[in-house]
Amino acid sequence: MKEGQPQAIELKNYQVPPYLIDSTELHVEINEDVTRVTTTLQVRKNPDSTAMVTDLVLNGAVELVNKSITINDRELLSNEFGRDQDLLTLYAVPESFTLRTQVDIKPQDNTALEGLYKSGDMFCTQCEAEGFRNITWFLDRPDVMSKYRTTINADKRRYPILLSNGNDIARGEEGERHWVTWEDPFMKPAYLFALVAGDLQHVDDTFVTMSGRAVKLQIFTEAHNIDKVDYAMLALKNAMRWDEQAYGREYDLDIFMIVAVESFNMGAMENKGLNIFNTSCVLARPDTTTDQGYQRVESVVGHEYFHNWSGNRVTCRDWFQLSLKEGFTVLRDQQFSATMGSPTVCRINDVATLRGAQFPEDAGPMAHPIRPDTYIEINNFYTATVYEKGAEVVGMIQTLLGPDQFRRGTDLYFDRHDGQAVTTEEFVKAMEDATQVDLTQFRRWYSQAGTPVLKIQSHFDSAEQTYTLSVTQSCPPTPGQTQKLPFHLPLAIGLLDQAGADMPLTLMDNEAVQTPQVANVQDEAGSHTVVLNLTEARQHFVFTNISEKPVPSLLRGFSAPVKLNYDYSRDELMFLMSHDSNGFNRWDAAQRLAVDVIQEVVEQIQQGRTPQVDPRLIKACESNLDQAVARHTDLTLDKAMIAEMLVLPAETYLAELFTVADVDAIHAAREAVRLAIATQLAGVLLAVYKLNQDDRPFDVSASEVARRSLKNVALAYLMVPENTEMVPLCVAQFESANCMTDTSAAIRALVNSASPLALQAKEKALTTFYGRWQDEALVIDQWFSLQASCPLPGALDRVKALMQHSAFTMLNPNRLRSVIVAFAFQNNVNFHAKNGEGYGFLADTVIALNSINPLVAARILSPLTRWRKYDEQRQTLMRQHLQRILDTENLSKDVFEVVSKSL
């Protein structure tokens, strides 16, 4: 944008809408060339608004072609309204009136996939955050809530299924065409509007709610995918039941529909009564979907369903409040998944996501609080901060209040604000009012960005029999916020005696202690956890009657989204790995030990020394594997834990821990550690592999998922050495696998192998895989992704070749991400090649995508924005390419905001 740079919108300038729209009647006539949208709005002045205005300003899009505008059935003259690009101003309107507009749009040309667009042969919508304005003139803001009645009119043969929100109240036919009218009895903001027209099949089911009402459930897909929705249906019914039990929330309409769409920017969308899903978040079949894919379906189906209360019944006042619905709903879907599977493994994965995606965001140029106070393009704030950190913040409220009190708080929140558009402040207030707990200081989590750092020191006094923890907290500066005030946070801890048992804990000052045992801290039997209230920059906690020097287990269950610094010795970490009563902290001790050892190897490599891997790390892995052999038959879920503990921290996470990330040394060090484990433990790895390799029929139960994950972690290690003899074993798994988890683990191990023996096998496997799955889009996405993320040399050439493949397209976000995100986000060593060719490639892709799909273009460029993390040469190259993007003609608001803030 050369002239008139995009303007920032600020929270402090919020004003209530000057007008309200009580009802919205849409008539959408779908044709192959243009779609005509006729909108009838009942508009009135907002009695709560003090703005002295008589003009009504409506949001739209430059693509809207005006056909007619009437007020109270009178066509407006050209001097009674003005249009400036995407705004329509109606001059001197009455206090209350009927507005009717008619526009033509071309959904088939809409490659940005916001508003009404075409995905394959079907029409569908995505209106959050501001897509509705691409369909018709409207007051497109979440605090304008309206009752919708929608009639869709389309060709009967091409689009036999016509869907919108609410209940289907009338239908009819006219020659080749037909129409259906839907009415949604609930008031809703425009972002929850949805419409679908297509030749779709559906699977039906019924759910009986806790008050005994029967709700019809329908999942719609194109014909070739209809055999992959059973798991989503099961997940939906489980989610509906869980929300009744855990939060007392019952579904409200008589019908709930999900539609699977191939081209979709996000994961899924919670439109009232008509959820629209990316196929990747709803389809699952054993031979096409990995266990991770199954878990994703369960969690996303739950997430979107839970929005019916946390998002739809109670919605956001403005987009700064996005975390009101997203943070809370992510917490709810995490709790749901934890109930369905292994709570500890779920927590490990949630924290790994937070550390891998959110911590870097907090440390980067786009850092923002979970309630941002300014934005240029709201699409850029659908972030790990708003979602995942937002969930941690609500989770901390639950930890501080305890589960019962928290439930009283959510009951009051839903009850008090049902049907309203509210703020995060009103959420916190409801929590306070229901429980009388003061959250004044806690509110800083909503306004301060950055990841707090806790430094903890301990002192054991054997004479006094006391143990003191001294805790300091600080938070690094973030853009626009140099000084931070101390946060209020729950620090869950335990102390282990020399036998590894939890000590009973008594604090000298009882006021700082909260009740232990809280839902978000995964506690096992025999544990004594206390939750300390941190509120000051520096605090001391003195435990009495401590007869021997304990090993502290700190931040149990990751009770707050912070970085923890405590000077653990490697022996202490090994002790915690085998004895901590908190499963999450056993895993975290393993991670800390691996990080410590890898950091040491990085230094050795930087000094030109031969890597020496601390034998204690190998020993720790060995004892885990020995346990997996010795207790093979009675371990079930623990297999997933052992698998998690054997996986080394990702290179992206390791890079975050260095001030200047030496990409090549980090990669080499991590590989050296992997090789040491693989060679020294080859025997027991093979034993574990064989014990867990069997061909019983596929089952997605948690214990089977655990078995497969342990087996495939072992396989990946077995394939690490260049002289591995395991290639035939890997090929055999590839050829005989009865599920995609095993197929994809085998082909990934082959593709990533540097063994000369694997060369031929990998080409053959890739050809076989493609040939077998070429009609399954989601499987082909995996085929692209596993090649683009392969860390072996020559990745960029492979990526460029993949983009020339006939199955590649920039128009489908899943396909685009399967190559670009796999390369730029997951293939650190190749993306950051010293000559900068990876950077140039990403910049070229962003520039090409800017005019096609700005939302996705802005997202994929984020690895470039982290230039401060790298050496001078890389910094210069990354900035040059960012500048090149900034200099592009017609840069979208989305891309402009991210690039300009990062430079």
Q: Which residues are catalytic?
A: 304
The identity of residue 564, as a single letter, is L
Q: Which is nearer to Zn ion, 326 or 671 (CB)?
A: 326
Residues 789/793/796/800 CA torsion (nearest 10 deg): -90
Q: Which is nearer to Zn ion, 326 or 894 (CB)?
A: 326
The interface mask with Zn ion, positions 318-357, x = CB under 5 A, is: --------x-------------------------------
The interface mask with Zn ion, positions 281-320, x = CB under 5 A, is: ----------------------------------------
CB of 146 to Zn ion, least distance (A): 21
Task: Please state whether 115 falls in left (phi above 0), alpha (psi between -120 and 50) or beta.
Answer: left
Q: Residues in contact with Zn ion, total (CB under 5 A)?
A: 1
Q: Which is nearer to Zn ion, 306 or 831 (CB)?
A: 306
Q: Which is nearer to Zn ion, 393 or 819 (CB)?
A: 393
Residue listed under structure tokens 């300091």: 472
Which residues, other chains included, contact 74 with Cβ-Cβ below 8 Å and sequence gap of 6+? none
The identity of residue 149, as a single letter, is R
Structure letter (DSSP) for residue 3: S
Rounded Cα distance between 681 and 250, Å, is 52
Cβ atoms within 10 Å of 801's Cβ, excluding its own: 11
CB of 561 to Zn ion, least distance (A): 19
Q: Which is nearer to Zn ion, 326 or 502 (CB)?
A: 326
CB of 30 to Zn ion, least distance (A): 28
Structure letter (DSSP) for residue 609: P
Nearest to 467 by CA among 543, 394, 364, 413: 543
CB of 333 to Zn ion, least distance (A): 8
3-state secondary structure 687-752: HHHHHHCCCCCCCCCHHHHHHHHHHHHHHHHHCCCCCCCCHHHHHHHHHHCCCHHHHHHHHHHHHH
Residue listed under structure tokens 């402090």: 12
CB of 299 to Zn ion, least distance (A): 11
Q: Where are the beta strands (DSSP E) in 287-412?
A: 315-316, 374-375
Tally of helices (H runs) and strands (E runs) in the chain: 30, 32
Rounded Cα distance between 323 and 191, Å, is 15
Q: Which is nearer to Zn ion, 148 or 305 (CB)?
A: 305
CB of 331 to Zn ion, least distance (A): 11
Task: Spell out the long-range contacts of 201-205 with Cβ–Cβ below 8 A and sequence spacing 24 or more.
Answer: 201/226, 202/161, 202/226, 203/229, 203/230, 203/233, 205/233, 205/237
CB of 591 to Zn ion, least distance (A): 28
User: Buried (b) or exposed (e) across 158-175, using 16+ Cβ within 10 A?
Assistant: bbebbbbbbeeeeeeeee
Q: Where are the beta strands (DSSP E) in 349-452?
A: 374-375, 421-422
Find the angle CA(663)-CA(830)-CA(614) to the nearest 5 degrees: 40
Tokens of 143: 């605090």
The identity of residue 846, as a single letter, is V
CB of 326 to Zn ion, least distance (A): 5
Find the angle CA(485)-CA(486)-CA(490) to the nearest 5 degrees: 150
Cβ atoms within 10 Å of 528's Cβ, excluding its own: 17
Using a 10 angstrom Cβ sphere, with 0-12 exposed, 13-18 middle and 19 or more buried, the burial of residue 609 is exposed
Q: Which is nearer to Zn ion, 148 or 306 (CB)?
A: 306
Nearest to 532 by CA among 554, 544, 517, 514: 514
CB of 386 to Zn ion, least distance (A): 10
CB of 574 to Zn ion, least distance (A): 40
Q: Is the dihedral of CA 606, 608, 609, 610 positive or negative?
A: positive
CB of 392 to Zn ion, least distance (A): 15
Q: Which is nearer to Zn ion, 386 or 601 (CB)?
A: 386
Task: Give contact residues for Zn ion (rule: CB under 5 A).
Answer: 326
